[in-house]
Amino acid sequence: MDFQLTEEQRAIRDLAREFAENEIAPYASEWDRTHEFPARVYEKMGAQGLLGLPFPEEYGGAGADAIATALAIEEISKADGSIGLTYAAHMGLGATPIYLFGNAAQKKEWLAPLAKGEGLGSLALTEPSGGSDLAGSVKTTARLEGDEWILNGSKLYVTSGKVARSILVLCRTETQGGHRGLSLIIVPRDAPGLVIGKLESKMGLHTSLTTQVFFEECRVPRENLLGERGAGFRYTMQVLDGGRIGIGAMALGLGEAALRASLKYAQERFAFGKAIAEYQAIQHMLADSAMELQAARLLIYKAAALKDAGKKFSVQAAQAKLFATEASDRVCWNAIQIHGGAGYLTDFPVERYYRDNRLLLIGEGTSEVQRMIIARELLNDRQFT
């Protein structure tokens, strides 16, 4: 069902679906096994206009709305969670802040190449000293000397940091603590003093490159400050709201892939003389999975529609991200159970779907943080339904 999608939204969804089915799905299992980073795929995505979907045409984008962008992330993620994550992070975290807060010169120099597919964008937030508490845990500093910012510190869990054309860095530019002392600075790939650390070995998402990043007297031009000095925390919170819609869409894609695999297997696997799809226990798992994914889709679309309308959507994005990721977790878990022993083998994709989805309950705000956001709104007695 199309949920009254516009012609443009359907066209973008179909473009992403066709690309995913032809260029990603046939190779995803092998890439997961070898941990290969499929650079050529991103080049092809750029050529198709997929890497710049939400940005204006004047910067090389497609001018797509938030619903169309979520649809594209969902379709790519159905084929491969690793590429879905890299894709969502590139648009939502690496490029969107430049579009929202950058000046004309920054958009031309940094956003346009990302939108055109000439490189991937990245955002460096988390540090060894903390995670969810960004305001209090950021220790990376940037001091202004003449016409240069000089950065010192380190970041963890940087998606695409090893291959990014540019990395947006949340750092402390003021002496006072708390969020008022934080700024975002654009660090080019070739900046002196930028050191890319080791690739992290992860449970899943094996071809999405996750790295440590170090800044050792790292020098970047003064004009690489993004937006206002001291506004980095506020900018980051706004960006994460939009990113959560993307993470929800990614989870939806993985859950849909798991349900599709479960339906196929349940009709082909026989036990005690009949297909296991005929057993009520299996039917209940399939029914619950379909229902939860449908509910997740509606929450994602609602948050995206509010974003497109220019209305507040922080709580709705938190609801969508929370429900979709946890629903997909259950769907992927049920998929393994439906497959039985086969579900534990790497010969079948459902174990990969489960591994890949598990991060989504943590990244861009844990499930616990999303519940805090939603509860805070309830306790403030605001209307958000």
Count Cβ neighbours within 10 Å for each residue of 138-172 and write b for 16 or more, e otherwise.
bebbbeeeeebbbbbbbbbbbbbbbbbbbbbbbbb
Q: How far is CA 46 from CA 41, 148, 185, 220, in A?
A: 9, 32, 25, 27
User: How many whole angstroms separate alpha carbon 308 and alpha carbon 302?
Assistant: 10
* Residues contacting 7, CB < 8 A, separation 6+: none
136: tokens are 């209090």
Q: At what angle do helices 66-79 and 232-268 cross, to 10 degrees?
A: 50
Whether 106 contacts 282, CB under 8 Å: no
User: How many whole angstroms separate alpha carbon 182 and alpha carbon 184?
Assistant: 7
Does residue 364 have an active-site annotation? yes
Q: How far is CA 331 from CA 72, 76, 204, 261, 296, in A?
A: 21, 18, 17, 11, 12
Whether 203 contacts 354, CB under 8 Å: no
- Phi/psi of residue 279, nearest 5 degrees: -85, 140
Q: Which of 148, 145, 143 is nearest to 221 (CA)?
A: 148
CA torsion sign, 348 to 354 to 360 to 362? Answer: negative
Whether 266 contacts 281, CB under 8 Å: no
Catalytic site residue from 58, 364, 368, 377: 364
Catalytic residues: 364
